[in-house]
Copies of this chain bind each other. A is one copy, B any other.
Amino acid sequence: MTALNWNLSPDRFFSPEPSQRRVARSLYDAIVDLPLVCPHGHVDPRVFANPDYEFGTPADLLIIPDHYVFRMLYSQGVPLEALGVPRRDGGPVEEDHRTIWQTLADHFYLFRGTPTGVWLAAEFVEVFGIEEKLTSENAQDIYDQIQAKLDTPLFRPRLLYKRFNIEVLTTTDAATDTLEHHQAIRESGWEGDIRPTFRPDGVVNLDAAGWRENIDTLSQVSGVEVRDYASYIQALEQRRAFFKDMGATATDHAALTAYTEALSPGEAETLFQRALRGEASADDARRFTGHMLMEMARMSIEDGLVMQLHVGSFRNHNELIYQRFGPDKGADIPVQSEFTRNLRPLLNAYGNDPRLTFILFALDESAYSRELAPLAGHYPAMRLGPPWWFFDSIDGMIRYRQNVHETAGLYNTVGFNDDTRAYPSIPARHDVWRRVEANWLAGLVVRGIIDEGEATEMAVESAYGLARRAYKFEGN
């Protein structure tokens, strides 16, 4: 029979082989209390701006905004409406959060062995103190228990920040964002370290939804009237300076492919003008994004902001879901990605400059050993980000090190990113990383590849040092 309580073994995710497990536990013990460094994620800064922010119901917190959760139920035939996901047209969706919670409980077996299952179990036990497994029978009881916790002042985001032992947390913000919530956090005198990240996709990708309006907003917020390519670049530089002033240490860029290309000033102007007139083609968009990635690398060398690039997600694959519910609904599907040829222009122009830190994230694991590790193992500017999205998982992390480490080593990687909008899952996500890394290093120790002293230093780097240094949080 299935156990009644969550299974949260102190040795979870470690090899069952006793000698490896012993070393893994010892390495884990050396890092478990290190603060959490969160250099890339999607928590809403509003959550910290208001000291009395409340999360709402268990469904508000754990289901409705989390595409990791609802996509799995959708894949098995549960309509998103039944999970309370709001429709764009304001059409009817389930409003009874107890019913939504019951639907999750009824389908909770779907998460067996998945990262979401692992995170939620840890959240139940370690954040909410609930030992009992969620079932159809106890769903309403557990709903009550979580709601009771959420209603107490202990579950305000700022207190959780302290309880979670977070040292720094970055958000991801449009280039046109006024960062008013970050401003409010600063002005509040709270000691939490919340920083913005400059994400200019909405004004850089010519085919982004609302690009034209975004350009107008860019003019407004930057105070630079964008009417040509030169003023556009000037406005972007202004925004970067503003973000940096607000504590940002990094930018972030998303692109379907890693294509880069240096356009001549004339070409850049022509494409930009076509886009202003609403006449840019798909190929224009592709080339302009490729060009702007190079421009962003140039600016990063100048202003010191770390450059992140996320490649390979085909967004909004399911037209019906996109029309009805909008983006980020679990329908972004990876595509094959090419890096060796695509990144060559950027890396040849800027990759030899150690002032640049260029961190790449990928969804095509076949490129890990073939292209990404060899590139990161050569160019001084290039680093490889941790396993992303679907691969932020136990086996995903194992494959990442197996495929990357021997060629790129540890020091061309940058530790962990939780990359989440699910704030209470942050400790669980870092804990999975730390356990899997401890077990990986223990495997190297017991196979005689490194010794335990080296492993301990590497574990501390992986859990803490690499991220702090790569993202320039030291001394900031």
Residues of A within 8 A of B (CB): 1-3, 7-9, 11-17, 19-20, 71-72, 74-77, 109-115, 118, 314, 317-321, 330-336, 338, 340-341, 344, 347-348, 351-352, 354, 363-366, 369-371, 373-380, 382, 390-391, 393-396, 399, 402-403, 405-412, 443-444, 446-454, 457-458
25 contacts between A and B (CB under 8 A): A3-B453, A9-B448, A12-B447, A14-B447, A15-B17, A16-B17, A74-B378, A75-B379, A76-B412, A109-B411, A109-B454, A112-B410, A114-B409, A317-B375, A320-B352, A333-B371, A333-B375, A334-B340, A335-B338, A335-B371, A364-B370, A365-B366, A373-B390, A393-B407, A395-B402
What's the nearest-Cβ distance from chain B to residue A237, in Å?
26
In the bound complex, residues from chain B placing their C-beta under 8 Å from that of A395 are 402-403, 405-406
In the bound complex, residues from chain B placing their C-beta under 8 Å from that of A336 are 338, 366, 370
In the bound complex, residues from chain B placing their C-beta under 8 Å from that of A75 are 376-380, 382, 408-409, 412
The copy count of this chain in the complex is 3
Please determine whether B11 and A318 come into contact, CB atoms closer than 8 angstroms: no
What's the nearest-Cβ distance from chain B to residue A338, in Å?
6
What's the nearest-Cβ distance from chain B to residue A255, in Å?
15
Please determine whether A334 and B378 come into contact, CB atoms closer than 8 angstroms: no
Residue of B nearest to A368 (CB): B365
Please determine whether B402 and A447 come into contact, CB atoms closer than 8 angstroms: no
Residue of B nearest to A5 (CB): B451
What's the nearest-Cβ distance from chain B to residue A266, in Å?
24
Given contacts A16-B17, A320-B352, contact A113 B448 (CB under 8 A): no
In the bound complex, residues from chain B placing their C-beta under 8 Å from that of A314 are 340-341
The residue that A111 contacts in the complex, of B115, B370, B403, B409, with Cβ under 8 A, is: B409
What's the nearest-Cβ distance from chain B to residue A133, in Å?
9
Please determine whether B446 and A2 come into contact, CB atoms closer than 8 angstroms: no
What's the nearest-Cβ distance from chain B to residue A403, in Å?
8
Given contacts A113-B410, A333-B340, A352-B318, contact A451 B2 (CB under 8 A): yes
